[in-house]
């Protein structure tokens, strides 16, 4: 077993406030989220997707795509899309999905495609319950991406990007340490 000193990397002069310690036992989830509103799709050719460790989820949808990932194993446990532009019931369906169907200790990934704000209300409150911050509602045909968490703690890696139409796409690229 290596000693503590052998796993501390020397970075004198690198600006780090203390030693940098590596732990080869840590596993990470590599995530990319790209959210494209209507202008980003039509004028710039972007397609909304969520990518988890190289596996891309980008089936055709309008509104929100929500994917839950087990924070211990990195396995996708739930995924669903909600057309909150056209269907009023999709708002409550999405809120219930987040609150009741996604297990505790889940990393929750959200991307918007085309338009999501028209009938979104209660689902926006549910997004705040997993870490989203105001403003949560997008402008008409805006761009919204979120890496949230459902559980008893607020990890430091929670993040979101919310951009008006024609100022996107909203993009997040991050690596999250798994808890298991």
Q: pLDDT band at 18, cuts 50/70/90?
A: low
pLDDT at 7: 44
Backbone φ/ψ region at 169: left (φ over 0), alpha (ψ -120 to 50), beta: beta
Residues in the chain: 180
| pLDDT-wise least confident of 16-20, 63-67, 108-112 | 16-20
Query: 129-154: per-residue pLDDT in tens?
Result: 999 999 888 888 889 999 999 999 98
pLDDT mean across residues, the chain: 88
| pLDDT confidence of residue 117 | 82
The pTM of this model reads 0.86
Where does the chain have alpha helices with state H? 4-7, 38-44, 89-96, 122-129
């Amino acid at each position: 077993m290596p000693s503590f000193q052998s796993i501390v990397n020397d970075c004198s002069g690198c600006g780090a406030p203390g030693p940098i310690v590596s732990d080869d036992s840590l596993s990470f989830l590599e995530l990319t989220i790209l959210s494209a509103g209507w202008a980003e799709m039509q004028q710039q050719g972007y397609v909304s997707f969520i990518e988890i460790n190289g596996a891309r989820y980008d089936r055709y949808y309008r509104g929100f795509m929500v994917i839950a990932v087990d924070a211990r194993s990195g396995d996708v446990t739930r995924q669903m899309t909600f057309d909150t532009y056209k269907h009023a019931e999709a708002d409550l369906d999405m809120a219930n999905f987040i609150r009741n169907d996604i297990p505790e200790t889940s990393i929750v990934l959200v991307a918007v495609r085309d338009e999501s704000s028209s009938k979104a209300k209660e689902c926006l409150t549910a997004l705040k319950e997993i870490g989203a911050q105001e403003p949560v509602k997008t402008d008409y045909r805006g761009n919204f991406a979120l890496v949230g968490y459902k559980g008893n703690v607020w990890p430091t890696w929670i993040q979101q990007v919310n951009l008006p139409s024609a100022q996107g796409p909203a993009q997040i690229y991050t690596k999250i340490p798994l808890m298991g």
